[in-house]
């Protein structure tokens, strides 16, 4: 039997609630629409409107390639992290010796260690799928850039509709990438559970504060709010 303590159950519940609540606030509330992610989504729409006006679109292709490369890096990193999580299955003895020396450390049983490691691997696999899908969407967007109508047709309804659809693909790719990064951040918080439930609660709160500050209190967000809004 796993026989986790009540405090472990509280820590896991707090972790799940924090993740789900943060995602809901960021993606589905009016307050979340003032976050950094949504502000950048508006510029994606503006980018596509500017793209169809350009005769030469090498710059757009370079930006698209940069987005793809960044996403591919995180997808590869998540696979390496999954491999690292699997390696942890064979390190319980060494880690138990380290945890026993910590003031709040709780030495897990072998079964508890394996359950915690499986949870970490699950989070990292989820992140991989998000990054992989984001990469595929950026690939679709690159194809759409190649199929964009000529600049001579920039003022037609068909061209404006094309720019909007391309921006939607780009926005969805960015959304999936953000969710993958969010999983990475919460995976870092999850590492606290390997030390004990109290550190797990603290690391979850710490990661939540860091992410919230970046979304709603960062210099980047203030710069976007103070600047001119994207053209309509």
pLDDT of residue 76: 96
Q: Do the beta carbons of residue 118 and residue 92 sit within 8 Å?
A: no
Q: Does 206 reside within a domain?
A: yes
Residue 133 structural domain: 6-226
Q: What is the pLDDT of residue 24?
A: 96
Please write the tens of the pLDDT for every residue from 91-128: 766 666 666 666 666 777 778 888 899 999 999 999 99
Residue with tokens 């109508």: 149
- pLDDT, position 232: 44
Lookup: tokens for 23: 């995602």
Tokens 């026993």 locate to 100
- Decide if 82 is inside a domain: yes
Is residue 215 one of the residues assigned to a domain? yes
* Tens-digit pLDDT profile for residues 71-90: 999 999 999 999 999 888 77
Locate tokens 């990054």: which residue?
Answer: 131
Tell whether 231 is covered by a domain.
no
**Intervals of the chain under pLDDT 50:** 232
Q: Is 74 exposed, middle or buried (0-12, 13-18, 19+ CB in 10 A)?
A: buried
Q: Report the number of distinct structural domains present in the chain.
A: 1
Residue 227: the pLDDT is: 66
**Residue 97 falls within a domain, yes or no?**
yes
**Could you tell me the two tokens for 70?**
């960044």
Secondary structure (DSSP) of 141-191: HHHHHHTPPPGGGTTSHHHHHHHHHHHHHHHHHHHHHHHHHHHHHHHHHHG
């Amino acid at each position: 039997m796993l026989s986790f303590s009540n405090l472990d159950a509280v820590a896991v519940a707090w972790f799940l609630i924090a993740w789900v609540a943060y995602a809901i606030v960021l993606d589905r509330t009016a307050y979340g629409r003032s976050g950094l992610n949504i502000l950048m989504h508006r510029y994606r729409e503006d980018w596509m409107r500017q793209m169809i006006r350009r005769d030469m679109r090498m710059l757009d292709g370079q930006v698209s390639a940069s987005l793809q490369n960044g996403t591919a890096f995180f997808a590869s990193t998540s696979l390496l992290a999954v491999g690292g999580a699997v390696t942890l299955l064979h390190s319980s003895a060494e880690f138990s010796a380290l945890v026993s020396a910590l003031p709040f450390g709780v030495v897990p049983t072998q079964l508890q260690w394996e359950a915690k490691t499986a949870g970490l691997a699950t989070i990292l696999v989820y992140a991989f799928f998000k990054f992989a899908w984001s990469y595929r969407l950026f690939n679709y967007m690159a194809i759409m850039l190649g199929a964009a109508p000529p600049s001579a047709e920039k003022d037609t309804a068909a061209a404006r509709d094309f720019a909007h659809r391309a921006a939607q693909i780009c926005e969805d790719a960015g959304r999936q990438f953000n969710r993958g990064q969010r999983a990475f951040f919460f995976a870092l918080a999850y590492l606290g559970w390997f030390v004990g439930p109290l550190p797990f609660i603290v690391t979850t709160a710490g990661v939540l504060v860091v992410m919230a500050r970046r979304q709603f209190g960062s210099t980047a967000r203030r710069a976007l709010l103070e600047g001119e809004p994207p053209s309509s």
